[in-house]
């Protein structure tokens, strides 16, 4: 939201940032000022590169979702979607009230964010697309660790945590171990100190369960 002009705030129906719980408010006043200036500069650069007058309106819907005000959605339809669900009970569809509407709201925000990310990725691909290329830009977006407190964790949450652990392990090995063989080949490994790091390979989420192969007699 930093860097948006008053006209853009009005056009996108944005209130003060303190109204939006996803933005966080724990930083000190000095830190917030520094971050605000940095975000404003980055947002201005983003608008210039995307060549659109208002940046990405879809991103603003994420802020509204945190306050139960998504754009382009009828309030009654949103209330029904977030607070109720249809459940089959003995061959009869029943409306079940959901106490975890806030979780559904957060899921909606994640969906909007994923659509925004997909659009941005496609936009970049269209701008950079060439028949002959030597380099490429890879973007990888993954949710953070999942641990629901208001409802039991599902298989989806386990898979997300498993993917996070594998990604963390891959990044650590690339940073701390990728050049070890090269140093050894060059004969300089003894001059390069090893950097200790926490290897999460032995953590339960990072261990993939394998089904035993049947033995054929």
pLDDT at 27: 58
Q: Within its chain, how far is the Cα of 192 from the centroid?
A: 36
The total domain count for the chain is: 3
Contact 101, 82 (CB under 8 A): yes
- Read off φ and ψ for residue 170, nearest 5 degrees: -65, -45
Assess whether 71 and 125 both reside in one domain.
yes
Express each pLDDT in 145-159 by its tens digit: 777 777 778 888 888
53 pLDDT band, cuts 50/70/90, is very low
Assess whether 66 and 51 both reside in one domain.
no
Assess whether 124 and 63 both reside in one domain.
yes
Percent of the chain residues past pLDDT 90, beyond the cut: 0
- What mean pLDDT comes out for the span 169-190? 82
- Read off φ and ψ for residue 150, nearest 5 degrees: -95, -5
Angstrom distance (rounded) from CA 159 to CA 191:
41
Express each pLDDT in 188-203 by its tens digit: 888 877 778 787 777 6
Percent of the chain residues past pLDDT 70, beyond the cut: 65
Assess whether 90 and 49 both reside in one domain.
no
Angstrom distance (rounded) from CA 164 to CA 145:
7
Assess whether 72 and 26 both reside in one domain.
no
Q: How many CB atoms lie within 10 A of CB 159?
A: 12
Assess whether 104 and 167 both reside in one domain.
no
pLDDT at 213: 46
Residue 187 has pLDDT above 80, yes or no: yes
Assess whether 152 and 201 both reside in one domain.
yes
Q: Residue 200 burial (CB < 10 Å; 0-12/13-18/19+)? A: middle
| CATH code at position 74 | 1.20.120.720
- What mean pLDDT comes out for the span 78-94? 72
Domain assignment present for residue 200? The answer is yes
70 pLDDT band, cuts 50/70/90, is very low
Domain assignment present for residue 217? The answer is no
Assess whether 34 and 103 both reside in one domain.
no
Nearest-5° Cα angle at 67, 63 to 68: 110
Domain assignment present for residue 216? The answer is no
Assess whether 39 and 69 both reside in one domain.
no
Domain assignment present for residue 107? The answer is yes
Per the structure, the complete domain to which residue 179 belongs is given by 142-210
pLDDT at 31: 61
Assess whether 74 and 22 both reside in one domain.
no
- What mean pLDDT comes out for the span 70-86? 69
Domain assignment present for residue 65? The answer is yes
Closest CA to 112 of 86, 155, 78, 79: 78
pLDDT at 170: 86
pLDDT at 97: 62
Assess whether 23 and 88 both reside in one domain.
no
Contact 2, 40 (CB under 8 A): yes
Angstrom distance (rounded) from CA 59 to CA 141:
15
Alpha carbons within 13 A on the beta-carbon side of 89: 6
Angstrom distance (rounded) from CA 202 to CA 217:
34
Q: What is the pTM of this model?
A: 0.43
Domain assignment present for residue 127? The answer is yes
């Amino acid at each position: 939201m930093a860097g948006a002009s008053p006209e853009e705030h009005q056009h996108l129906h944005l209130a003060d940032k303190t109204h939006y719980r996803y933005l966080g408010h724990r930083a000190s006043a000095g830190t917030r000022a520094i971050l605000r200036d940095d975000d404003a500069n980055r947002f201005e650069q983003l608008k210039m590169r995307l060549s659109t007058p208002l940046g990405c309106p879809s991103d603003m819907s994420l802020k509204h979702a945190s306050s139960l005000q998504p754009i382009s959605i009828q309030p009654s339809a949103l209330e029904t979607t977030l607070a109720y669900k249809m459940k089959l009970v003995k061959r009869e569809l029943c409306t079940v009230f959901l106490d975890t509407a806030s979780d559904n709201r957060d899921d909606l925000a994640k969906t909007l964010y994923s659509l925004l990310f997909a659009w941005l990725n496609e936009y970049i691909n269209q701008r950079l697309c060439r028949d002959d290329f030597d380099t490429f830009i890879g973007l990888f977006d993954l949710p953070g660790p999942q641990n629901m407190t208001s409802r039991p964790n599902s298989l989806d949450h386990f898979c997300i945590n498993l993917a996070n652990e594998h990604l963390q392990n891959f990044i650590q090995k690339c940073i701390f171990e990728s050049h070890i063989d090269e140093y050894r080949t060059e004969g300089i490994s003894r001059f390069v100190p090893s950097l200790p790091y926490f290897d999460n390979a032995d953590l339960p989420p990072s261990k993939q369960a394998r089904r035993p192969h049947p033995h054929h007699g």
